[in-house]
């Protein structure tokens, strides 16, 4: 979720740009977007925005990981503001469900959208830094987060030792980090969520119902359901506060303003 809507502001380089904010510390793959942009500029200069490239690349990443594909509405323009201070409105791994709910609601997204979009954690990684506190000193008394499955806790502790390297990367879905599937929801159900914010979805009755639905044991039926709901939620999110008409610009290089 971008601070000022889907306008490619995350791609801007700079000392106080959005990408330098702590919630964005784990983002990777900027060179893929830059490469797509330079190819497009060669073919049709000044036509396709970096914001559109991001939305299309997100769809392709899901499709190439065995998930659904969808028609991405295009025509966004690129924003001219990128500020790390504005990233304070982004969800963080520390957010309890009411805070997550409020942040999503402020962008017009409901509980169903929230759980569905967090399901993107079926692929990708995070840094030990973002969840290490759950393993060793959860309530400042030297214990671990009781919602972590005990067998999994030992595994995480060996991967992320107490004073180890916080930038070490760990799969967000322990079972199939390269495959877009519903195992992320099964992990949350079973106490195997990596981020505290993900695991908390099981502790709230409204979000828990949706997680249960996606993780359901009626094979095929409910798995397909996530495949059907995810594109709808992505289209909804990628339409937040888009810039069109004369607002914004079409950047020539994604990492810097024209």
**232/223 Cα distance (integer angstroms):** 15
Has 121 been labeled as part of a binding site?
yes
Name the burial class of residue 143, with classes exposed (0-12), middle (13-18) and buried (19+) by CB atoms within 10 angstroms of its CB. exposed
Q: Rounded distance, CA 234 to CA 120, Å?
A: 10
Query: Which contiguous run of DSSP H or E holds residue 183?
Result: helix 183-189
- Output the DSSP codes for 184-233: HHHHHHTT--SSHHHHGGGTSHHHHHHHHHHH-SSTTHHHHHHHHHHHHH
Residue 110 assigned ligand-binding role: no
Q: Is 7 part of any known ligand binding site? A: yes
Query: DSSP per residue over 121-160, as a string?
Result: GGS-EEEGGGTHHHHH-TTSSS---TTS-HHHHHHHHHHS
Inter-helix orientation angle 111-118/221-237, to 10°: 110
R_g (Cα) of the chain, nearest Å: 19
173 is in an annotated binding site: yes
- Is 166 annotated for ligand binding? no
159 is in an annotated binding site: no
The answer to the question of whether 31 is labelled as a binding residue is no
Are the C-beta atoms of residues 175 and 71 closer than 8 Å to each other? no
Q: Is 5 annotated as a binding residue?
A: yes
Q: Does 8 carry a binding-site annotation?
A: no
| Measured distance CA(158)–CA(135) in Å, rounded | 10
CB contact at 8 A, 20 and 84: yes
Q: Would you list which residues are annotated within the binding site for heme b? A: 121
- Binding-site members for substrate are 91
Sequence ranges of the binding site for Ca(2+): 5, 7, 9, 18, 122, 173, 181
Residues of each annotated binding site: 5, 7, 9, 18, 91, 121-122, 173, 181
């Amino acid at each position: 979720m971008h601070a000022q809507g889907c306008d490619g502001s995350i791609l801007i380089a700079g000392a106080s740009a959005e990408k330098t904010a702590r919630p964005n510390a784990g983002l990777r793959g900027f060179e893929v977007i830059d490469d797509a942009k330079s190819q497009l500029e060669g073919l049709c200069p000044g036509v396709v925005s970096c914001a559109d490239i991001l939305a299309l690349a997100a769809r392709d990443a899901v499709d190439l990981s065995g998930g659904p594909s969808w028609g991405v509405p295009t025509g966004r323009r690129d924003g001219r503001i990128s500020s790390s201070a504005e990233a304070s409105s982004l969800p963080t791994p520390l957010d309890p469900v009411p805070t997550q709910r409020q942040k999503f609601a402020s962008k017009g997204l409901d509980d169903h959208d929230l759980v569905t979009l967090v399901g993107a954690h079926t692929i990708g990684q995070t840094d030990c830094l973002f969840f290490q506190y759950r393993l060793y000193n959860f309530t400042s008394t030297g214990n671990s987060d009781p919602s972590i499955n005990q067998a999994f806790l030992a595994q995480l502790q060996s991967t992320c030792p107490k004073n180890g390297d916080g930038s070490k990367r760990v799969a967000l879905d322990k079972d199939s980090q390269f495959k877009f599937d519903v195992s992320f929801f099964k992990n949350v159900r079973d106490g195997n969520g990596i981020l505290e914010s993900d695991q908390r979805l099981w502790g709230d009755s409204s979000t828990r119902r949706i997680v249960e639905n996606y993780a359901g044991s009626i094979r095929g039926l409910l798995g397909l359901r996530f495949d059907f709901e995810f594109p709808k939620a992505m289209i909804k999110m990628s339409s937040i506060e888009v810039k069109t008409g004369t607002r914004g610009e079409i950047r020539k290089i994604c990492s810097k303003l024209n």
